[in-house]
Structure 1
Amino acid sequence: MGSKQLEQHFLLGGWRRVENTFNWPRLWRKISGNRFNLLILLVIIALSPPFFFHFRLRHFQQMQLKSCGWIANPPLVCAHGGDSINAFPNTMAAYHSALLARVDCIEIDVSRSADGILFALHDRDLQRVSANHTARVGFWSKKDINELDASLHFPGVRDDQKVPTVEDALMLVSNRVRLVILDAKVGPPLYEKGLAKDILAVVEKTNCFNCIVWAKNDPLLREVSRLSPDTSVGYIIMKDPTTGLRSNVLRMKTAKVVGVYHPLIDEKLVRLLHGRSKKVFAWTVDDLVSMRDVLSNQVDAVVTSNPSLFQQLMDDTRIQCLEEGFLLP
């Protein structure tokens, strides 16, 4: 075999080895597959920003709705015992301060004295102002209570800081706010005996048509409803101080308002109660973090000792929401 033939033999053999090494149809399919995969990848890359933007926008809108949704139907601002930050709770000074702040609602504590007079007073506040840590309103007479003066606790306040009767308190506030909550306190020695009748008597005497009675004592509320079906009542949801268990959420069909201890409030609870045509009132909400929480859960009213702080938070949040493009429905 000549050198030229030998060269052709080796070249032909090498080409055959190359042909055997590379399966051209399979290689073409692989290249075509890679092109298809590359095309899919390019499509995914092209579509990712719009999808990402869509989901980010949706998440933002959901968060914005949670933070700003209350604006269309803002909760009532209820002053707990009046403006209890700037005056002693349940005094005329506290009520005057709350009225100046233009609150929507005032909560008044209702306790009965030893001689059957209803005072705007809580055992806790009686103990504080009397410096008697075991004092109970039910064992104090009208004369004893009238001698109390809370001005030592708020020396800079010039308004009356005596303890008013519930009648006097209602005469001052009932026609100047949208709602009055009478928070009935059941205590010794008579407990709820005759208390419903006494409360209804003062409500009727003062023509407090915007009064609602609530209490931590369901039998008292049922008695109020029995004696006066037209009087609005509300029951309380809270944690049992001994067991830590939450009280039943759905009870008393006739009650249109439920006062809920604010740490227990979430969207599910609000949705459940609203589904039963009951309004949710959060109590007692005094710090900014808790105020934001109850706002985002879209409760119907917020009972607070610091109504001005809550009003300022609502104003600031409303401005921020509108600046961020939140649209009212």
Structure 2
Amino acid sequence: MTHAYFESGRPRIFAHRGFVPPDSEGIVENTFAAFAAAHALGVRYVESDCHVSADGTVILFHDADLSRVAGDPREVAEVGDRELEDLMADRGGLVTLAQALEAFPSLFFNLDVKAEAAADRVGALVAPHADRVLLTSFSEKTRKKALRAARAAGGRPATSAGTVRIAALVVAVASGVPWLIGRALRGIDAVQVPERRGPVRVVSPRMIRAVHRAGVEMHVWTINDADSMRRLLAAGVDGIVTDRADRALTVAAGER
């Protein structure tokens, strides 16, 4: 049975870490302002990342440290909520996972659990919102930990495969052995991948067909060029993860 997360029509446009308008000044990714901008565009899906602060709060933030975004070398896990709020105040505003889920009830969240320490908390927080949450992590251990916590709290969010599963899927598709493909996709709702990984082409017509035969969706990241978006959607991918949600929505409207 299709998870509620996927009941709306395709293609799915995922605003990567929210949306930062090209002409914005001072606003950065994964902030309240970035999510509000994505919502204002009419985006239904937002991709974000989960870390945990020194106070144990799940923060929507991509990097393990604050260097790139705030010019502070400390790790997110070393800094308390109040100080994080101060650091992010003029950059779009710090946003916690709890705040995002409550402030944007019509948005569907694609959450990449970056820190294993955040997994249990993420699972518990998303459980009441499981119909509009997809959980993932590059780490299969972290992904499964977050899913177990959500299920223990009474929620069953959708999920996409971690790095180990994706590698197994690439090998399985290359081998053409159906049971290997089925094993790689067991318990998975979506495959979220880059078009290429170094010299290896991940997204191919063969891969798309194999994933779809298993009843699983394929989403490709991070695609910002309109021609690439059109090409991938024409090839049959179900979703595009992009920094240019404005551009992607226009492209998707032309595909319908």
TM-score, with normalisation over the residues of structure 1? 0.61
* Kept after mapping to 1: 8 A contact 2:143/2:162: no
Aligned match for 1:300, one of 229, 238, 241: 238
1:235 pairs, out of 161, 168, 171, with 161
Inter-CA distance 301–120: structure 2 relative to 1 (3 Å threshold):
same
Determine the structure 1 residue equivalent to 2:250: 312
Q: Is the 8 A contact 2:13 2:245 kept in 1?
A: yes
Q: Show the 5 A alignment for 1:99-248.
A: 99-123=39-63, 126-132=66-72, 134-149=73-88, 151=90, 161-173=92-104, 175-177=105-107, 179-186=108-115, 192-193=116-117, 195-204=118-127, 207-229=129-151, 230-236=156-162, 247-248=167-168
* Post-superposition offset of 1:124: 6.9
Deviations 1:222-254 (A, max 9, x none): 22333445222211459xxxxxxx722253511
Counterpart CA distance in 1 for 2:123 and 2:237 is 28
Counterparts of 1:176 and 1:216 in 2: how far apart (Å)?
Answer: 26
Partner residue of 1:257 out of 190, 200, 204: 190
Q: Percent identity?
A: 24
- Give the counterpart of 2:221 among 283, 286, 292: 283
Instruction: Give the deviation of 1:145 after TM superposition.
Output: 1.0
Query: Where does residue 96 of structure 1 map in the other structure?
Result: 36
Whether the 8 Å CA contact 1:232–1:256 is kept in 2: the answer is yes
Shift in Å, 1:129: 2.7
Q: Which amino acid aligns with 1:184?
A: V
Match of residue 156 from structure 1: none
* Superposed displacement of residue 216, structure 1: 0.4
1:199 is displaced (CA, Å) by 0.6
SS in 2 for 1:209: helix
Mapped to 1, the partners of 2:58 and 2:149 lie a distance apart of 18
Q: Aligned pair in 2 of structure 1 residues 317, 199: CA closer, same or farther (>3 Å)?
A: closer
Partner of 1:49: none
The Cα shift of 1:140 comes to: 2.1
Partner of 1:26 in structure 2? none
Instruction: Please identify the structure whose Cα radius of gyration is greater.
Output: 1
CA distance in 2, matches of 1:95, 1:314: 20
RMSD: 2.4
Maintained 8 Å contact 1:77/1:301: yes
- 1:274 aligns to what SS in structure 2? helix
Match of 1:31 in 2: none
Instruction: Map residues 11-30 of structure 1 onto 2, 5 A cutoff.
Output: none
Q: Which amino acid aligns with 1:215?
A: S
Aligned with 1:149: secondary structure? helix
Letter aligned with residue 82 of structure 2: K
1:20 is matched with none
Q: Secondary structure at the match of 1:303?
A: strand
Query: How many residues are paired up?
Result: 221
- 4+ long deviations beyond 4 Å: none
* Cα separation, partners in 2 of 1:151 and 1:74, compared to 1, 3 Å: same
State the alpha-carbon separation in 2 of the partners of residues 300 and 126 from structure 1: 33
Aligned equivalents of 1:292 and 1:148: distance in 2? 38
List runs of 5+ in structure 1 lacking aligned partners: 1-72, 153-160, 187-191, 239-245, 319-329
Conservation of the 8 A alpha-carbon contact between 1:262 and 1:294: no
1:150 Cα deviation from its structure 2 partner: 6.3
Please state how far the C-alpha of 1:215 moved relative to its aligned partner. Answer: 0.9
Q: What amino acid is aligned across from residue 176 of structure 1 in structure 2?
A: S
Q: Counterpart of 1:56?
A: none
